Amino acid sequence: MRGALGGPRVLLRRLREVMAEPVSAQERLDKIVVLIAANMVAEVCSVYVLRVDGTLELYATEGLNKAAVHQTVLRSDEGLVGLVASEANPVNLSDAQNHPAFSYRAETGEEIYHSFLGVPVLRAGNTLGVLVVQNRARRTYTEEEEEALQTTAMVLAEMIASGELSAIAKPGAEPAARRPLHLVGTALNDGIALGYVVLHEPRVVITNFIADDVPKELKRLGAAVEMMRSDLDVLLERGEVVDGGDHRDVLEAYRMFAYDRGWVHRLEEAVATGLTAEAAVERVQSDTRARMLRATDPYLRERLHDLDELANRLMHQLLGKDYAPARDRLPENAVLVARSMGPAALLEYDRKRLRGLVLEEGGPNSHVAIVARALGIAAVGEIANATGVADPGDAIIVEGSSGDVHLRPSPDMEAAYAERVRLRARRQLQYLALRDKPCITRDGEKIELMINAGLAVDLPHIEETGAAGVGLFRTELQFMVAATFPRSAEQFSLYRAVLDAAGQKPVTFRTLDIGGDKVLPYMRNIDEENPALGWRAIRLGLDRPGLLRSQIRALLRAAGGRDLKIMFPMIATVEEFDEAKSLVERELTHLRRHSHKLPERVEVGTMLEVPSLLYQLDELLDRVDFLSVGSNDLVQFFYAADRGNSRVADRFDAISVPVLRALKTIADKARANAKPVTLCGELASKPIGALALVAIGYRALSLSPSAVGPIKAMLLDVDVRKAAALIEPLIESRTGGVPIRERLKAFAAEQGLQI
Ligand code: PEP
Ligand code: MG
């Protein structure tokens, strides 16, 4: 580098020495600015640190007035320094004073300096401060100099993030790096978690970011890039994707970037400034993250995200085993923070120590959210840059019901939540006391409360909740969380474990409900315009009967000597039901012929999720042994409003005249035909939904396990006749616009029901 004394590598080596010296934070900073100024032949070098209040404070300077240190405080959008911070991008000017953003602070004495080079101090994409060099002469800083200053800023980033500067900060104006943060995402699972951050893929703490031997580091980088490329090639060639959630087109994009000269060149340049290979990856990744956080164009964001993901893979190659997540070293009250996570990965953590989950990606229908629900941990998704702002061991609060996350909360905040956790625990104890009490309403109606389940981890809930059985066992969950297709033997052993755990209590197994939003990572997806209305569930099962038949066989064998209930998802016509039922009969005949032990009794029913069945109820009820209403899908198809699309999902209320009329017709007809009917959609898991359902005649509900306590507490106090007397005339009314939900709320308040 022209003009510089010794170049960036010498500077880095000197900085390493200064970092190791046993001096105060201020002395260290003072030495650092002197070193940088000398090395870059600049008259000024200054460090500004971003404070909790969002302003930038001058922490050290060589060249400007020393009296301005800790006195000059800039707004985050003030001057060129503010510009560097807010854009998270370098600003390089030979005539700074004529730049529109230039702002002059008399106390610094900077009016005589014309050229300006400022770089953000970044860590994991977050701006922690700004590092500036200035010269009197109108000079253009070279690209190499800019690069070198950015590398130097990494050293400062580690120093600021370490918390060392807090000792010299004014109270209330500490560096922002460790400030409390309130983040808001999407609610994935209810519950409050108070705990400590564990990064699912721990950010690498780079202990050695200064290279001793640059050619060697370049070689390491090159080898890692090669390995990463060939890994991607293999994944793509195999055509099956094992890494939960990754799809072919995503991998194609990764591969494209992995072979992109520009990206690799940036990494090599970073190494050439004197960084180790991993520090170079970290630098480039931090830049990418900073741009990602500011990009508004969704296409660009997606591409930056791909680059970020690639950098992750590269880091993995460079650090090998040390990079493995700390699954077995999980602290008490762990809250996992991850960019994204497959369902199987979550299941590998110790459930007893796990309190919460925070994801950068992952919507409410993601597979990992399903597992979080089964595990009963508070979970929030769609928190941008969660892994960038959280450090391992940081205190964190996750409020699963609202999607709020408080990182490094203030003591007041922590105390308030601790109180809420105590309250919830007290309520849980009250529910526990109800566990063995029969669910009989105030006016003597017996209501059967069962649970929805789908994974082995759900099984303890049968006992814990005191539920009357499993009303819906979603067999597809085993398929969704697996890395490869579960073999027949695996299906068999899960089904048997479920029946063992249930003992005398009934279990209703639903055959595979895949397709739509329930995608299997290892199965090639067909592109469909409307997957929810597409080739899914029983449609797929009947067209490719091999899979369905082997599942039915596994179920029949697992239930040898016991009772078995089977039902089918997404049946739309009675003919479909007949066809599906005939497969059960065929398998029974087959097993009988091979002298297998058969179930004592097999009942075959159907889910009612497609509105067309409402107009085939008589013929359907003649055929089925039981019905199970899936209100999630039924309401989605009823109103033609995607259940997973928040823009429309809340537009229509399930507790409304048309839906309740339909549900009441089903309950009435089932009773008239002496066929049992259960409702197993989310509607039953909300106290107000359960109240509406018992009022229109439902006597069996299947709930999320966590809903059993609150629903039972409400039902024990309800007078069903009174609720029916309120709701029936409302449903029959011809006036339109009847606010049923409001009327039910008022009724509950009047009757002292907790909803
Ligand atoms: C439903 O549709 O209501 C239902 C219970 O099935 P799932 O939520 O699994 O689609
Ligand atoms: Mg459904």
pLDDT band (50, 70, 90) for residue 489: very high
Domain match, 66 and 130 both? yes
Q: What is the dihedral of CA 294, 296, 299, 300, to 10 degrees?
A: -30
Is residue 713, in this structure, part of any structural domain at all?
A: no
The residue from 667, 683, 703 where one domain ends is 703
Q: Do 337 and 458 share a domain, yes or no?
A: no
Is 439 an active-site residue? no
User: Has residue 127 been placed in a domain?
Assistant: yes
Read off φ and ψ for residue 644, nearest 5 degrees: -100, 5
Per-residue confidence (pLDDT) for residue 580, from 0 to 100: 98
Note the pLDDT tens digit of each residue in 368-382.
888 898 888 999 999
365 lines ligand 1 (CB under 6 A): no
Distance CA(610)–CA(573), nearest Å, equals 9
- Structural domain harbouring 360: 181-202+326-425
The reply to whether 109 falls in a domain is: yes
28 vs 17: CA distance, rounded Å: 10
Do 687 and 565 lie in a common domain?
yes
pLDDT, tens digit, 9 for 90 and up, residues 352-403: 899 999 999 877 777 788 889 888 899 999 998 899 899 889 999 999 999 9
Q: Are residues 268 and 335 in the same domain?
A: no
Q: In this structure, are 527 and 616 located in the same domain?
A: yes
Atom 3 of ligand 1 has which residue's CA nearest to it? 630
Ligand 1 in contact with 287 (CB < 6 A)? no
Q: Which of 268, 299, 319 is the last residue of a domain?
A: 319
Give CA separation, 714 vs 300, 426, 688, 706, in Å: 50, 16, 9, 14
Task: Output the CA 632–ligand 2 centroid distance in Å.
Answer: 6
Catalytic residue, from 200, 316, 367, 406: name it. 367
In this structure, of 499-508, 528-537, 576-585, 670-679, the range with the lowest mean pLDDT score is 528-537
Q: Which two tokens stand for residue 308?
A: 């970020």
Instruction: For residue 496, tell me if it sits in a domain.
Output: yes
Nearest CA to ligand 1 atom 4: 630
User: How many angstroms separate the CA atoms of 742 and 732, rounded?
Assistant: 17
Q: Does the pLDDT value for residue 589 go beyond 60?
A: yes
Return the amino acid letter for 532.
A
Q: How confident is the model at residue 328 (pLDDT cuts 50, 70, 90)?
A: low
How confident is the model at residue 206, as a pLDDT? 75
Query: Domain with 454 in it: what CATH number?
Result: 3.20.20.60
Q: Does residue 603 belong to any structural domain of this protein?
A: yes
Please, what is the Cα angle at 703 between 698 and 709, to 5 degrees?
100
Residue 466: the pLDDT is 96
pLDDT at 2: 43
pLDDT in tens, 202-246: 767 677 788 889 999 999 999 999 998 988 888 777 764 444 444
Structural domains counted in the chain: 4
Distance of CA 389 to the CA centre of its chain: 15
Do residue 486 and residue 501 come from a single domain? Answer: yes
Question: Do 663 and 534 lie in a common domain?
Answer: yes
- How far from chain centre, in Å, is Cα 211? 36
Q: Is 680 a catalytic residue?
A: yes
pLDDT tens digits for 593-633?
Answer: 998 899 999 999 999 999 999 999 999 999 999 999 999 99
Q: With respect to residue 245, please indicate whether it lies within any of the assigned structural domains.
A: yes
- At 22, the pLDDT band (50, 70, 90 cuts) reads very high
pLDDT at 325: 52
pLDDT tens digits along 88-100? 999 999 999 899 9
Q: How does pLDDT run across 57-83, given as a tens digit for each residue?
A: 999 999 999 999 999 999 988 999 999
Mean pLDDT of the chain: 91
CA dist., res. 631 & res. 11, Å (int): 66
Q: Which ligand is nearest to the CA of 518?
A: 1
Query: What phi-psi label fits residue 547: left (phi over 0), alpha (psi between -120 and 50 degrees) or beta?
Result: alpha
Atom number, ligand 1, closest to the C-alpha of residue 452: 5
**124-128, 324-328, 445-449, 473-477, range with the lowest pLDDT:** 324-328
Q: From the candidates 45, 305, 461, 680, which is the catalytic residue? A: 680
Same domain, 655 and 575: yes
CA of 250 to the centre of ligand 1 (A): 29
Residues 582 and 499 in one domain: yes
Q: What's the pTM?
A: 0.78
Q: Distance between terminal CA atoms of the chain?
A: 71
Q: Is the pLDDT confidence value at 321 over 60?
A: no
**Rounded distance, CA 37 to CA 163, Å?**
24
> What integer pLDDT is reported at residue 1 of this predicted model?
39
Please count the residues of the chain. 755
Is residue 50 a contact partner of residue 85, using CB atoms and an 8 Å limit?
yes
pLDDT digits (tens, 9 = 90+) for 445-472: 999 999 999 998 899 999 999 999 999 9
Residue with tokens 């509105």: 611
**pLDDT computed for residue 243 by the predictor:** 44
Q: Which residues, chain by chain, have CB under 5 Å from ion ligand 2?
A: 609, 630, 633
Bigger pLDDT: 726 or 308? 726
User: What's the distance, CA 28 to chain centroid?
Assistant: 40
In the predicted model, what is the mean pLDDT of residues 568-589? 98
Q: What is the CATH number of the domain that holds 279?
A: 1.10.274.10
Alpha-helical regions (H) of 468-573 = 476-481, 488-502, 537-543, 545-558
Question: Each residue of 239-273: pLDDT tens digit?
Answer: 644 444 445 777 787 888 888 888 899 999 999 98
3-class DSSP string for 572-613: CCHHHHHHHHHHHHHHHHHHHHCCCCCCCEEEEEEEECCHHH
CATH number, domain with residue 157: 3.30.450.40
Co-location of 465 and 540 in the same domain: yes
Nearest residue CA, atom 1 of ligand 1? 630
Has residue 433 been placed in a domain? no
Task: Please give the average per-residue pLDDT across 426-434, as a whole number.
Answer: 93
Report which of residues 292 and 408 the model is more confident about: 408
pLDDT higher than 70, residue 723:
yes
Name the residue among 227, 222, 210, 302 with its Cα closest to residue 265. Answer: 222
29 vs 344: which has the higher pLDDT:
29
Which residues have a Cβ under 8 Å from the Cβ of 401 and sit 6 or more positions away?
A: 187, 190, 191
Is there a domain that residue 606 lies in?
yes
Same domain (yes/no): 522, 585 = yes
Residues 118, 146 share a domain: yes
Average pLDDT over residues 559-574: 98
